[in-house]
Structure 1
């Protein structure tokens, strides 16, 4: 077994305090100096903090969540961790005067060592600091083993620590480490037994979450559900439980259920970019265009001034607005198009636009031309100006595929699908979701040549000209592309009423009617749409049909 280095003494520790209030620096430095700390550095903004971290490696970082002059503590923490200025060996303490559940959930996600609420008290600072430094000192063998991925050795050292009366106050921490190690070792049956035993002794959130995680890993969903109902009622476990549920259902390819869980988790902790990306993927997989737009707008909003910030996020907002504008019609579509034009101006503001971004914007302009029924201009943009030699990521190719589809260029569209599949790497949850999305896209792009908006317009013309069956077919394809569109479902019922006047509905048409009514029964409807739905149901004899609709 490798020799484990001894932890630093208190007078050897290097401390960094990041806060925009001078008084906070004075209180902390004074309190720590009394404990024997000799090296305390101060930064009043994120820029200065990064400069100090470039020059020195700190053992303890006290970080205010509200460093508002350039970027907040959440973004700064991510940047310091990304650049390896903060490691698993660094003690991180968050400072904040705010204690809202949303902020606490965001901080929990970052997994700092402690969270101190302002205003700070000298005695409290010294008490908590001593506690945290003693964790590093007294549990250093366990922590060293975990940092190096030797989880079996970590369990050995932790179990020895549980027999040591000198570290009794750290026994809960040691027990949590043992549970984490069992999960890391994939010994889920042992982890289940371990957490069940702990559950009889204490009521810590991490015990319940660890038990549910172990049960999920063994597909013991029924056992987990017994616990989940209670955990969703608790403030300290609700957020983590939604996250676990989402991961489980994505793994089982139940993407509709997973989507609801990720939405709930995102509301409780909205700043996490990776979760918003997952939310975006699940929204488009579930054909929720409004959900897609909300997710990308959140990503752009919360990534500002962070390591995630890039023109790509603004571009994705534009792309998603176009997707939605191609689904809705009338004033709603026109409003979205105006927003797109405004966002395009903001994104390309400046003297020089980088070539790759210019190429991506070209595709956006082509899609906007198609949306405005200027197909000739759209096709000219792509054929004469698109630079195919430039590197294009997965989202770029998705957008190009949509541009080709909107122009009816089927072969080009399907060729891009092959490129997209090749770009998916690994078996991550994100790639699993996107792969499933592409499979559905391929089926629809092969079978359906038009956008939702075009299909709705075609259905309107066909219905007006008394071509009822073509109108029905148009609307069926439109609902395939936009399965949550209430106006399409209502139009389908209206067309089916006309068909039923001439001939009884076929089994397929009857099923379409039932699906439309069920979708409309799940969605809140304004009075006029509710009246129409009921009239159509009566005309089709569906009032007595028992629908599989969840209670509201």
Structure 2
């Protein structure tokens, strides 16, 4: 079987050399590209089973940033193999590459023998796991797990055991089987506690299971690792953000060198500033990041669009009569970032931001006219934050049904987002926007119903997540909070995400309660006390 491999390397001589090294290996159809932009254009037309990326791609986005962006936009399939090459031996660069869990990492200068050996190993793994990977690409995770379990029973070749174990843990996690995935990561770490992919896998499982104290403890250790330091601080900041401890968010992100602060971490820090009434500091942060990337068009445009969104947020929170300056700044920035754009995603972002500006100016005709292009209704690759803006635009034009659907799509897409800072920031935006538009309660009811079915089936972990999300979306609905308390008690879970049983009981007690809910609260309080006494 022949596999398609794309080389992405900005140096023409290095591209040619790499191609010459790959062709003799066999089983490879090799194409090469000078930039992430060229790769993205090619991915619109065809799929590659393997991407070979240089880390530094000139002055634009790094190879890591391109892989992240292409994954989030759905250009790269779950099965796509990733190879990274780099001459940068700094812990920050190696750590960011390892965060993506590449299949192969080669440090330049590499030997032809090492490149050949590693790629032949990947091809062997790819051939062995091909039926599983196809099911992954078709989003049939349960089928993929069944096929993998069958292969394990039949005996995995010793040379592929680590690859299959890593794939198995990933599939279990993505399928919501968090504890089983955690067991694999623990097993790997028992053999060696320095396996970075297993360390991060365990942390993701702890986070997904709502075990935030354990998660925070692991992260506090990982900040001392040069390979994991920046990402650990991003995670700690995200946990603080969810607890609305915005001062702590700022403090954690201050530990990351300014030049290394990612786009999503910059956005989170700006929101933390704004929540502390430090609007000037937030704007200054974006302006400094823009200035730093002025010679790199793609990064410069990303930060310019982000600053435009921030100005629109400020305008939205201001009285109608005080919006002019913020809206003027937002439109100016959108014009700069949207100039000479041929990418349909960027065009969609430009036009939705301009349409939202028109809505805030109460110019519905102008907003509606900006929605005429065919790309405006294609949300396949639209990021969650822009889906929220789109929901606000359609709500402002009187289409509540579409606004609700777009918010729901934003929630679903955000669940798949890999970067924790991006996921947490988006989640806060989705919840706040849904509340402003009066659309949260309907989604909360649906989540609560699903959680109730899971609770009856004793799928407590799934039920906890749904009850928590329902109560987060509709925090004045006591029944949702009571369901979460009951599930925590039944699951013997003293702390779930930001709530302890006691803090949640106190939170619900402050709400307006019906007689039935008050009786239920009293019963659950007694049950919680009995459970605590039994443990103590």
Aligned residues: 383
State the shift of 1:200 in Å: 1.7
* Distance in 2 between residues matched to 1:18 and 1:126, nearest whole Å: 18
Q: Is the 8 A contact 1:106 1:271 kept in 2?
A: no
Unaligned runs of 5+ in 1: 1-7, 324-336, 365-381, 399-417, 442-552
- Which of 162, 174, 177 aligns to 1:172? It is 162
State the shift of 1:284 in Å: 1.6
Name the counterpart of 1:305. 298
Unaligned runs of 5+ in 2: 317-325, 341-349, 369-385, 393-399, 415-423, 437-536
Name the counterpart of 1:130. 120
Cα deviation, 1:414-454, whole Å, max 9, x if unaligned, reads xxxx9xx999935564355347878999xxxxxxxxxxxxx
- Which of 312, 315, 322 aligns to 2:308? It is 315
State the shift of 1:259 in Å: 2.0
Cα deviation, 1:520-540, whole Å, max 9, x if unaligned, reads xxxxxxxxxxxxxxxxxxxxx
* Distance in 2 between residues matched to 1:345 and 1:157, nearest whole Å: 48
Q: Is the 8 A contact 1:28 1:122 kept in 2?
A: no
Cα deviation, 1:19-40, whole Å, max 9, x if unaligned, reads 2333323432232232225632
* Distance in 1 between residues matched to 2:217 and 2:169, nearest whole Å: 21
Q: Is the 8 A contact 1:189 1:214 kept in 2?
A: yes
Distance 1:344 1:122, change over 3 A: closer
Distance 1:215 1:96, change over 3 A: closer
- Which of 215, 221, 241 aligns to 2:232? It is 241
Name the counterpart of 2:131. 141
* Distance in 2 between residues matched to 1:349 and 1:50, nearest whole Å: 18
- Which of 356, 360, 366 aligns to 1:390? It is 366
- Which of 209, 215, 224 aligns to 2:206? It is 215
Q: 387-396 vs 33-42, which deviates more?
A: 387-396
* Distance in 1 between residues matched to 2:63 and 2:278, nearest whole Å: 33
Cα deviation, 1:103-137, whole Å, max 9, x if unaligned, reads 33443454443332223321111011112222211
Distance 1:321 1:391, change over 3 A: closer
Name the counterpart of 2:276. 286
Distance 1:69 1:161, change over 3 A: same
Name the counterpart of 2:51. 61
Greater relative CO, 1 or 2 (CA 8 Å, sep 6+): 2
> Equivalent residues in 2 for 1:38-437 (5 A)?
39-46=29-36, 48-50=38-40, 52-53=42-43, 56-68=46-58, 72-74=62-64, 76-77=66-67, 81=71, 85-162=75-152, 167-203=157-193, 204-251=195-242, 253-256=243-246, 259-260=249-250, 263=253, 267=257, 270=260, 272-297=262-287, 300=290, 304-305=297-298, 309=302, 312-313=305-306, 315-316=308-309, 347=336, 387=363, 389-391=365-367, 425-426=407-408, 429-430=424-425, 432-434=427-429
Q: Which has the larger radius of gyration?
A: 1
Distance 1:390 1:295, change over 3 A: farther
* Distance in 2 between residues matched to 1:395 and 1:26, nearest whole Å: 44
Distance 1:158 1:265, change over 3 A: farther
Q: Secondary structure at the residue paired with 2:171? A: helix
Q: Secondary structure at the residue paired with 1:216? A: helix
State the shift of 1:395 in Å: 7.7
* Distance in 2 between residues matched to 1:105 and 1:165, nearest whole Å: 33
Q: Is the 8 A contact 1:243 1:261 kept in 2?
A: no
Name the counterpart of 2:11. 21
The TM-score with structure 1 as length reference comes to 0.53
* Distance in 1 between residues matched to 2:137 and 2:75, nearest whole Å: 16
Q: Is the 8 A contact 2:238 2:249 kept in 1?
A: no
Q: Is the 8 A contact 2:25 2:116 kept in 1?
A: yes
Cα deviation, 1:385-426, whole Å, max 9, x if unaligned, reads x7454339978999xxxxxxxxxxxxxxxxxxx9xx999935
RMSD of aligned residue pairs (Cα, Å): 5.3
The TM-score with structure 2 as length reference comes to 0.55
* Distance in 2 between residues matched to 1:298 and 1:174, nearest whole Å: 44
Q: 127-136 vs 44-53, which deviates more?
A: 44-53
Runs of 4+ in 1 over 6 A off after TM superposition: 317-323, 343-346, 348-351, 354-364, 392-398, 421-424, 435-441
Distance 1:205 1:17, change over 3 A: closer
